[in-house]
Structure 1
Amino acid sequence: MTRSGRLSRDAITAFALLGLIALFAAMLNNRPQTTLSGGFNVIDGDSLSRSGDRFRLVGIDAPEYRQQCERDGVHWLCGQEARALLVKLLQGGSIECRGNDRDRYDRLLVTCRTNEDDINAEMVRRGMAVSFGSYRSEENAARAARAGMWAGNFERPQDFRREEQAGSPKGQDLFAAAADFVKRLAGWN
């Protein structure tokens, strides 16, 4: 085989391989979108559940339910207020949540809307969640308006979780540590 023949064969093989890789990537990326409507249970400012399934509002990070923030030198329960706001926003009309990806906890990552309002964006706009990959302009507006958590000092939710896990035995949350303690006392461990 001549040199030009080998180059042609190698080029065709390379293009065929790239084509297969592109096809495989498209198949992986072509997951069907899940659309859910109706009522949801609010766990915290960015987590929902329904019928045993769990959902996470994509692109935002709200304070943990037990997280506190500070405003004018006074601590306030920003995690509980974030949850309360999400409950209120979900009562605003017909709710529809859409998503097709899952996080490492197997929660469906969703964007929720009531009528035409993006609930994820509204949580950030009102300062009760921070941008987590999306909604940067809403975060900038909330920061400028000193809305919600931006009216004082707060720890970013991901930092709060990291510090909480580092302070817990074996990296567990406080509830898991308490459950382990009870099991040890009862002799179930």
Structure 2
Amino acid sequence: MADPSGTVRVIDADTLDVGDVRVRLHGIDAPEIGQPCTVNGQTRDCGRWARDAVLLQFEGRQATCEQVDTDRYGRVVASCVVEGRDMGAVIVSEGWAWAYRRYSDAYDLDEKAAAVAGRGLWAFEIDRPSDYRAARIQTTAAPDPDCAIKGNISANGRIYHLPGADGYDRTRINLSNGERWFCTEAEARAAGWRASRR
């Protein structure tokens, strides 16, 4: 496969579509959609906040990416550049994600600068995404009651289940496998899930 290039469509703060290719940005880790954080005593969805910040910065722009790997979900893992700027460096230095040192130390100094300045997530009380995923590996309860659509991955593909539908209560969400919660059906469809046939 050729290295992806094309128009950016932001899925979350570390995942995007570049043209028609789903890309997981290499070396960064952003909060999951639905991951809570506390700001000035108020709880908010920091995954959605980070996604929206990345969307404002990069949505609709042209990116050129260099593939590093393919992850277990079939996404291209890549470093991407928009208008001469490394997307990962921008996202980490603005405090919208952390350096993912498990895979790369490329953004270590960007993270340290954001932490010292208290930018973005560094001003919030929040768990690192890897810790959050480990603590919530399997769950049946939505972290946000307004975002209770279950995005499940099975042999039948990526399927979302609406509250009250047959099988909803039996469906567990395993965040470590890429399963997730959605707030709306439109959001689930945009991320590549389809409705359950039940």
Q: How does 1:55-134 map to 2 (within 5 A)?
A: 55-91=23-59, 93-133=61-101, 134=105
Question: Which of the residues 176, 179, 182 maps onto 2:152?
Answer: 176
Larger Rg: 1
1:49-105: per-residue Cα shift (whole Å, max 9, x none)? 256632100100001121121122122332112111222222485421221411111
> Which residue of the partner structure matches residue 152 of structure 1?
124
Match of 1:44 in 2: 12
Question: Which amino acid counterpart does residue 130 of structure 2 have in structure 1?
Answer: Q
- How far the C-alpha of 1:43 sits from its partner, in A, is 1.0
Q: TM-score, normalised by structure 1?
A: 0.69
**RMSD value, Cα:** 2.8
Whether the 8 Å contact between 2:6 and 2:19 is mirrored in structure 1 is no
Distance 1:45 1:158 in 2: 14
Q: SS where residue 88 of structure 1 aligns?
A: helix
2 CA distance for matches of 1:55 and 1:96? 11
Instruction: Structure 1 unaligned segments of length 5 or more: list them.
Output: 1-31
What is the aligned residue count?
152
Between Structure 1 and Structure 2, the one with more helix by share is 1
Partner of 1:3: none
Which structure has greater strand proportion? 2
Q: Do 2:67 and 2:77's aligned partners in 1 also have CA atoms closer than 8 Å?
A: yes
One-letter amino acid of the structure 2 residue matched with residue 175 of structure 1: G
User: SS of the counterpart of 1:124?
Assistant: helix
Q: Give distance in 2, aligned partners of 1:37 and 1:128.
A: 23
